[in-house]
Amino acid sequence: MNPIRRRLAWVGGAAVLAAGVVGVVVLTGDDDPADDDEPAPVEEAVFPLLGTTGDVPDRPALAVKIENTAGGRPQTGVTGADVVFEELVEGGLTRLLAVYHSDDPDTVGPVRSARSTDIDLLGELGRPLFAWSGANPTFAAAVRAADIVDVGAGAAPDAYRRDDDRPAPYNLYASPEALRSAGAEADPAAGPPPTLFEYRTPGAPPPDAADVEPVASYTTEGADGLATTVRWDWDAESDAWLRTQDGTPHVDDEGTRISATNVVVRFTPYRDSGVRDSTGAVVPEATAVGEGDAWLLSEGGLQRGRWHKPAPEAATTYTAADGEALRLAPGTTWIEVLPPDTGDVVAADGGD
C-alpha cells in the first residue's frame, strides 16, 4: 500500500472513530447510572515504522536489499515498504534497503548483494529478517555475524526465483511470504521492530516553528562522488513527496510513482571499506555511528537538525536546532544516507 493510500485509510478510520464517539455522546445524555459501567474505548496500536494506528502484526521487520540502477528498474514491491534507506555503493551509484512490517507485497526485487553499511542500519530494526543475494567474503561474514535473521538467497533459496525476462544480475526476486516462513523457522522468537522516529499526533498540522522553511523540492548535486541524481518534489494534492531519479519519474513495475510522506536526509560521511569490486573500484562504507546534519522534509516544509547514533545496535535519534525531537508526519519514510554537501533544496517561492 502506498503512503497516500495509507494516509487516506487512516483519515477514513479516524472519521469512523469520530462518528462512533459522537454516537456515544448522544446515547449517554440521559444520565443513566448504568452508563458508568461502560468500558473505556480500546486505544489502537501504533505501527512502529509508520506512526499510524491499526492492527499491528506481531512479527519482525523484513529488510530487503534492492537494486537501484537503470538495469534494475523498475523495481517490484518498493512502494509497499514502510521505510526505505538509500545508501551509496561503488561508482557513486545507490542501492536500496527496503523495510517491511505493516504489510508485505507479493514479490520484491531485484534482490542484490549486501554491503557493510547495511549492518549498522539493520541494527536499528531490532532483530530483523534480512534478504540479500550474497556479498564478497568480508561482507558476507559480517552479515552472518550480525544480530539479524538471515533469509538471504544462500540461507533460504526456496524463497527466491529468477525472472527469465531480465538479464542477470537484475533478475532475482523473492517472496516475502516465503521469506517470513524461513525466518520463523530460523528464529521463532524474533519480534516487532522498535519505533524508529518521533511522530506528530495523527492528523495534527505541521509544526508552526520559526525553523520550518517552505520548500518545493530537494535535489542531489553529485558532490563527493555521488553519481545518482535524486529529486523529491512536494505534491500538495497527494500530500506526499514524489521521487525522480536520473531525470525521469521513479516508478515501480506497475507504473506507480515512488512517493513518501517524509524524506529524511541523513548526511553521512563515507570511507574506504578496504574492499574492491570486480572492476577494482572502491566499495564505500557509511560512517553510520556518530552524528551529523539531518534534514526533515515533511508536509512541504524543511526542518534542519542533527542525527545521533551512539552505537551500532542503537537507534538513530533526530533532533531540531532547539534540541527537541524532529517529529515526522505519520506515514512512509525514505532515509537518504548520502554524503555531506550532496544536496540542496529549492524554496517554495522558487528561491534557494
Residue-wise DSSP of 12-40? HHHHHHHHHHHHHHHHTTT--GGGGGSPP
278 class by beta-carbon count within 10 Å (0-12 exposed, 13-18 middle, 19+ buried): exposed
Instruction: Give me the DSSP letters along 174-212.
Output: E-HHHHHHHHHHH-TT--PPPP-SEEPPTTPPPP--TTE
**Fold (CATH) for 198-347:** YerB-like fold (3.50.90)
At 316, list the grid cell. Answer: 538513530
Cross-strand bridge partners of residue 335: 85, 264
**Alpha-carbon 298 to chain mean position:** 14
pLDDT tops 90 at residue 352: no
State pLDDT tens for residues 152-167. 999 999 999 999 999 9
**158 CB neighbour count, 10 Å cutoff:** 10
pLDDT at 135: 86
81/136: higher pLDDT:
81
Query: For 4, which DSSP code?
Result: H
Provide the 10 A C-beta neighbour count for residue 38: 11
The pLDDT value given to residue 23: 36
C-alpha cell at 2: 502506498
Q: Residue 4's pLDDT is what?
A: 46
| Spatial contact of 269 and 337, defined as CB atoms under 8 Å apart | no
C-beta separation of 307 from 289 below 8 A: no
DSSP 38-101: SPPPPPPEE-TTT--EE---SS--EEEEE--STTTPSPBSGGG-SEEEEEE-GGG-EEEEEEES
Q: How do the domains of the chain map onto residue ranges?
A: 62-186, 198-347
Q: Which of 211, 204, 231, 237 is nearest to 328 (CA)?
A: 204
Does position 105 have pLDDT exceeding 70, yes or no?
yes
Higher pLDDT, 108 or 33: 108
Taking the CA atoms of residue 347, residue 221, residue 76 and residue 257 in that order, the dihedral angle to the nearest 10 degrees is 30
Tens of pLDDT, residue by residue over 250-286, are: 999 999 999 999 999 999 999 999 888 878 888 999 9
Collapse the DSSP code of 116 into the 3-class scheme (helix H, G, I; strand E, B; otherwise coil) and give the result: coil
Q: Output the nine-digit C-alpha cell for 279.
A: 572492476
- How confident is the model over 131-157, as pLDDT tens digits? 999 888 999 999 999 999 999 999 999
Rg (CA), the chain: 21
Residue 304 has pLDDT above 90, yes or no: yes
Is residue 259 packed enough to be buried (19+ CB in 10 Å), middle (13-18) or exposed (0-12)? buried
For the chain, give the mean pLDDT.
Answer: 87
Determine how β-strand 290-298 pairs with β-strand 301-309: antiparallel
The answer to whether residues 137 and 200 touch, using CB atoms and an 8 Å cutoff, is no
> Cα(first)–Cα(last) distance of the chain, in Å?
34
pTM, entire model: 0.86
62-186 matches 198-347 in fold:
yes
What is the number of alpha carbons within 13 Å of residue 184 lying toward its C-beta? 8
Judge: domain 62-186, CATH 3.50.90.10: yes
Residues in the chain: 352
Give per-residue pLDDT as tens, 285-298. Answer: 999 999 999 999 99
- Single-letter amino acid code for the residue at 31: D
Contact of 214 with 348, CB cutoff 8 Å:
yes
**Long-range Cβ contact pairs of 28-36 (< 8 A, separation 24 or more):** none
- The pLDDT of residue 38: 55
